Structure 1
Amino acid sequence: MNSLMTIDSDQDEDEDVHSLVEIALLFYMCWYYNHVCLRPRQAPHRQLLYSGNAWVQHILAHEENCYDTFRMRRDQFLSLHQLLVHRYGLRSTNNISTEECLAIFLYIVSGPHSNRLAAVTFGHSKSTISLKFRHALRRIYNLGVDIIKPRDPTFSKPHPKVTRGAYFPWFENCIGALDGTHIKLQVSGERNMTFIGRHMVPTFNLLAVVDLGCRFIFVYSGRPGSMHDYSVLQHALVQYHNHFPHPPQDKFYLVDAAYGNTPGFLAPYRNTRYHLQHFQHGHLPDTMEELFNYRHAQLRCSIERAFGQLKNKFRILKSIPNYGLCTSNRIIVACMALHNFLKDNGGDSGGDWTKASILTCNNDENIAPDLPDLMEYAGSNAD
């Protein structure tokens, strides 16, 4: 009898063990299904056949591709690179050269191209692209601090444009033009409404001063789009009094009617035809006031041209992604620094290819540069 009870007890224990195993196996299958089978599969990391630096060198080897991609000639790219390395601390890392770092920044601000697309193009992670973009941004912003200023702070020599012809002698003492423009950006949170400008989108109201060669000599960025142009100017004159390039006695900047006539700032006649389109199709000036306004508008167009060149060359300024207010402001200053650097280093002059390429790139905001086939390039370099 006792032996029978022992046998039954052993059988019960075996059944309990089997039940526990089945339960454990069931739990494991549920865990595997939820954590492995249902987890989104990540795409395999793209193994590029070329390095980002090799791609940069290939672009630099072709002048037209260089301008289409980086918005400057090869010699200008190399001069800028040397300046940033030797004077502003542009540094390389183990896997990214200083040339590639600069190329990443120019590629993003010129396209404009997203960090995601830059990561695919250069063969790095998005975090690496972001890190290198900000590294180059800080150096080019510091360049802007040094280069966005008058070549001659005393304005001792008048610009050749106003020493003869239709502008002489009435505008002989003109040293430049001042105006504002709105830069569209993305603002998150409660501050969004503060930056809503006249086009009902968040913007920076950017104040700039240019000389008559369309070169920026002062910039005041970061003011919300809801702020009036005149208020932005007054704020700049107070907050940056020591940095503003004040006109010497008897010299003046040209401004539009929104700023008014004050010492050093010359506005057009009010209630009189002014804008250039008002004088088109044979509608020539009829009075001395209209003639003055016509010449004033022609000369003041230097700042409109500068804004147009800036936004068409560095298209990130048409709508800055959500980088944050501080970084967005630095991007604007950096692009203006690049504008001045190019003005000081040959502008858009170049070979025959530039005549068509520059006009196309600067005037067509939807252009997609005709870049070389990267995989074909990689294959040719693998041989």
Structure 2
Amino acid sequence: MSPITHKPDFGINVDENVSFTQMLNSNSPISSPTHIQQDSGPTTSESRTMNSSKKRARSSTNDEEYRTLLHDIADSFRTMINTSTTQTRNKCAVILREMLNLGEIDKNMHLRALMLMEQGKKPHIFLNLQPDKRVPWLLFNLNHQYSMLPSATVMSSDEEREHAMVKVMFALVIIFFGFLNRRRRIVHPYRNVGSQFIENIINGHPKNCLDLLRMDRSSFITLCNILKEKNLVEDAREISIKEQVAIFLLTVGHNERNRACRNTFQHSSQTISKYINLILRALCQLGKEYISRPNDDTPSKIRFNPRFYPYFKDCLGAIDGIHIPVWVRTSEESRFRNRNGTLSQNVFAVVGFDMRFHYVLAGWEGNATNSRVLYSALDTEIDPFVIPTGKYYLGDGEYPNIHGLLTPYRGHRYHLSEFNASGARRVTSAEELFNHRHSSLRTTVERAFGLLKGRFPILKAQVSFPYRKQVGIVLATCVLHNFIIDHNPHAEQFDVDEGASDDANESTSFVTELESATQSIHRGSNNDLRTSITSQMFMDFQTRR
């Protein structure tokens, strides 16, 4: 069956004189400087007298060159085809191949039809046509442009075939770069958006700065100046120190993801991560200055309260552990699974009665007990937890009553909820009185943990950062907590998480008798001090009644 060579009448005037430049632009189909040459079949005398053997040899040569040409064009197309339209174009290619096999189109028309399927929505139009309408539609579209290749009967010499291949590759290059230019989009088209965002916060309503940056305007500016003066950070070419610090504060203060910060500040994901890590390291370096041991004077909370003074006059603060959710690899989950069944790191902290952190040890696995983390803090050679002679800290029942610590009595009510519950009996023994006042004073550490988590919600959720970075975030937020207290003691408290401490809402898991006895032998017992305080406290309590 010979291919159809007439042009169907669709009622549209087709302009045959289209320039080569017009055909190569982004809105025009692929074109070539020669007109379509229809294969009219063997009608000339020369074709009638052609030897049959020469016909077969030439046909074999043309078929081989045709397959090679198709292979080269297909390789070029693979680099340009959009994955979203690959299936549609593959279906078109299958249909065109079937039409070629049935003789409805010739090889030249098959080649040019494949090129046509790369133009806009034409593959979808081609698929939606009825089978008997596809050949006229192809002829109409192909006659509207110039031929991509000369007809197979014209390519009689190697030089012409090579010339045709050069045309094909040249057109493919133009299509490829035009395809890239049409689909290219600038991800962050706006400049200085981040700096303008920070200026609006600083110069706007004071509550906006508190809500977004978790500190007031003066504290934020002071923090930026301190980091700059200590050469911990510096202004970059397109991002200032204020913007760098704001990126970090939004991340930890609202648990913002990288993508959210990227859109807010109009920077790439790599830039956002870079400055989060930079500010994180800078704040950890400030830890030596802002997280330090308190002075040895009696805290004002004790000194001016007759319920606590003079009984706890040598107390410097309270200790406790807090569990921070972590994200770790599956192979490490067993070590980080705590007694509640969640993945966490056990953070040991020392808090003064001014709500400041005086010592922080982060990074221990969630299945480690509080007492084990305490021993690590006491025995480590790098930045150990040092308790001055004659002073002590308050701890709950998970810690042994050793030198430097004062813990409650076993077997008696301890948590304030047990004393304040409806229908709860009044204090009836010296041990209960000691436990009640001990718990009232030690709740400072739980309030500090609640304030820390309320101000920095990133500590409440698992974040897919490297574990070392997760540990650093805990230390950095503690530094920020102390910084805010130093520069604005009456700062807004946000949503305080009252249940932040591990034992805030559950009964205390006391350290075992064996461990307590072993540590008392190794580190010294504080039972005598506790007994003397209890006796004097209960005696005064009965006298005042």
The TM-score bracket by the shorter chain reads 0.7 to 0.9
Which residue type is aligned with residue 129 of structure 1? I
1:297 pairs with one of 419, 428, 439: 439
Moved more, 126-135 or 139-148: 139-148
In structure 2, how many angstroms separate the alpha carbons of the residues matched to 1:301 and 1:364? 10
- How many matched pairs? 352
In structure 2, how many angstroms separate the alpha carbons of the residues matched to 1:291 and 1:144? 38
Identity of aligned residues (%): 31
Cα root mean square deviation, aligned: 2.8
1:201 pairs with one of 339, 342, 347: 342
1:5 Cα deviation after fit: 6.8
1:315 Cα deviation after fit: 1.1
Q: How does 1:40-55 map to 2 (within 5 A)?
A: 45-48=187-190, 51-55=193-197
1:185 Cα deviation after fit: 0.5
1:28 pairs with one of 54, 66, 73: 73
CA pair 142-33 structure 1, distance change in 2 beyond 3 A: same
Q: Deviations over 1:111-135 (max 9, x none)?
A: 0111111111111111110011001
Q: Which has the higher contact order (CA 8 A, sep 6+)?
A: 1
Q: Deviations over 1:52-95 (max 9, x none)?
A: 11111111223111111110001000111111111142122111
Secondary structure at 1:47 match in 2: coil
Partner of 2:219: 76
CA pair 329-297 structure 1, distance change in 2 beyond 3 A: same
1:162 pairs with one of 294, 302, 306: 302
Contact 1:255/1:265, CA 8 A, preserved across alignment: yes
Matched, 1:231 2:394: no
Contact 1:162/1:168, CA 8 A, preserved across alignment: yes
Matched, 1:92 2:235: yes
Matched, 1:129 2:272: yes
Any unmatched runs of 5+ in structure 2?
1-46, 86-182, 500-545
Contact 1:310/1:335, CA 8 A, preserved across alignment: yes
In structure 2, how many angstroms separate the alpha carbons of the residues matched to 1:222 and 1:49? 39
Partner of 1:306: 448
Moved more, 30-39 or 51-60: 30-39
Q: Deviations over 1:221-246 (max 9, x none)?
A: 11101111111111111114753231
CA pair 266-340 structure 1, distance change in 2 beyond 3 A: same
Q: Deviations over 1:138-193 (max 9, x none)?
A: 000101132111243xx1x1111111321111111111001101111100142221
Contact 2:447/2:498, CA 8 A, preserved across alignment: no
Partner of 1:67: 210
Secondary structure at 2:401 match in 1: coil
1:100 Cα deviation after fit: 0.5
1:21 Cα deviation after fit: 3.9
Contact 2:294/2:352, CA 8 A, preserved across alignment: no
Secondary structure at 1:183 match in 2: strand
Taking structure 1 as the reference length, the TM-score comes to: 0.84
Q: How does 1:1-383 map to 2 (within 5 A)?
A: 9=54, 12-13=57-58, 16-17=61-62, 20-21=65-66, 23-25=68-70, 28-29=73-74, 32=77, 36-38=81-83, 45-48=187-190, 51-62=193-204, 63-152=206-295, 155=296, 157-165=297-305, 166-240=307-381, 243-249=384-390, 251-280=391-420, 281=422, 283=424, 284-349=426-491, 358=492, 360-362=494-496
Contact 2:318/2:393, CA 8 A, preserved across alignment: yes
Any unmatched runs of 5+ in structure 1?
350-357, 366-383
Partner of 1:353: none
1:302 Cα deviation after fit: 0.8
Which residue type is aligned with residue 28 of structure 1? I
CA pair 331-72 structure 1, distance change in 2 beyond 3 A: same
In structure 2, how many angstroms separate the alpha carbons of the residues matched to 1:364 and 1:230? 23
Secondary structure at 2:81 match in 1: helix
In structure 1, how many angstroms separate the alpha carbons of the residues matched to 2:496 and 2:332? 33
